[in-house]
Amino acid sequence: MGWCDDPISKDYNKLIRFPFKYNAEKLYRRDNIYDIILVLNYNFNPIIKNKGSAVFIHVAKRNYKLTEGCVAVKKKDLKRIVKQISKKTIIKIY
């Protein structure tokens, strides 16, 4: 599985399967930061090319190293968040 971040593709800012001929981020990583992913509702309705894609809440790297535009938290905290949210939950990031 992956997430298309290539604005040339009709699947831009969508979940995809590999093999895939356009640029996409692999959602399987050895560092396990994508073990749990919450996809935030950014640039979805409508999807605007080059506006950005894939804003996730995911597992933090050791020492909370920087993300590339996502939000990262400890795995135990992310598990707690997952138990408390629903499709109606609104997440605001300041």
Q: 71-84 pLDDT, tens per residue?
A: 999 999 999 999 99
Contact between 70 and 58 (Cβ < 8 Å): yes
Q: 40-49 pLDDT, tens per residue?
A: 999 999 999 9
76: three-class secondary structure by DSSP: helix
Whether the per-residue pLDDT at 6 is higher than 90: the answer is yes
Beta bridge partners of 58: 37, 72
pTM exceeding the 0.85 threshold for the entire prediction: yes
Confidence of residue 17 (pLDDT cuts 50, 70, 90): very high
